[in-house]
Amino acid sequence: MTDFETLLRDWLSHLAHERRLSPKTLEAYERDMRQFAAFLEGHLGQPASIAGVAALKPFDLRAFLGQRRRENAGNRTLMRQLASLRSFARFGERRGLLTAAAFVATRGPRLGKSLPRPLDAGAAKAMSRPDIRAGEAREDWVLARDAAVLALLYGCGLRISEALSLTRAQAPASAGDALTIVGKGARTRMTPVLPVIVAAIADYLGQCPWRLPPEGPLFVGVKGGPLSPRIIQLAVESLRGGLGLPASATPHALRHSFATHLLGRGGDLRAIQELLGHASLSTTQIYTRVESGRLMAAYDAAHPRAGR
């Protein structure tokens, strides 16, 4: 094992056990570093090593980003890869093995600030109705399951990974119950559960043909194993066609809709931040821009003096 490989493994262990990053984030960071190591072997003419990394200049790092660009990596991917490299370099610097100066000095691509694209309230509610897909060749319990998951995304503002990580023991039994959610960065939050969501989950549980042990997953696939996020994504793709919704109507758009609709009805921004599990209020504030845009669009469409 090379010294680069040893440092890489130590860094990934640090991210997993001390920083407590999610498995998917760790996969992405390791993939970034593997791609970087492959680039260095061609760029420097020898396998990646700590000495080789320590001698890199911003020019070398820009060459890596340029190669990834030619491989059709988008701006967000490039920014994440640069963040991976910086984190790795800082970790090595703390170990006294290299310096992070070249990595910090390298500028990444500019990111355009895209706003979340929520659904309107009617579409968001329709997506969590099992009867909306009644014509599909799916068992009734599967339709009830998908509807319950989508009801959680819109009614509680959950990420799809958060909804699918719930256990049977966490299923709300009555209105007024709250869910304890462990989100990004291992941040824990409480979110209240509306009666309509309790009813949707009860409908699914009443039809589910599988025995669900208390510590097992609440939502299962047709063979009784954990439900894949891809199944819910495919269900939403089907709903897009049936409801005439745009491609931006995804499971995550229901979380955006949750926040935007709360804000539009006078919800407190700090409370919405807590419900979403955002670490920073600035992350939540983007929904104020969405709501302002919707208000201005309504003004321009309806006010007699608009545009005149």
Please say if 294 is a catalytic residue.
no
Q: Are 168 and 215 contacting, i.e. CB atoms less than 8 angstroms apart?
A: yes
User: Choosing from 125, 138, 252, 294, which is the catalytic residue?
Assistant: 252
The single residue of 43, 184, 240, 294 carrying the catalytic annotation is: 184
265 an active-site residue? Answer: no
Catalytic residue among 159, 189, 256, 261: 159
Question: Of 145, 255, 256, 261, which one is the catalytic site residue?
Answer: 255
Q: Is 255 a catalytic residue?
A: yes
Contact in structure between 99 and 54 (CB atoms under 8 Å)? yes
Measured CA to CA, the distance from residue 74 to residue 308 in angstroms comes to 41
- Could you give the C-alpha distances from 38 to 32, 45, 63, 64, in angstroms and in order? 10, 10, 13, 10
**Angle formed by the axes of helices 229-243 and 251-264, nearest 10°:** 70
Residue 184 is among the residues annotated as catalytic for this protein: yes
Catalytic residue status for 308? no
Are the beta carbons of 256 and 289 closer than 8 angstroms?
no
Indicate if 223 belongs to the active site: no
Q: How far apart are CA 52 and CA 43, in angstroms?
A: 10
Among positive and negative, which fits the CA dihedral 101, 102, 103, 106?
Answer: positive
Instruction: List the catalytic residues.
Output: 159, 184, 252, 255, 278, 287
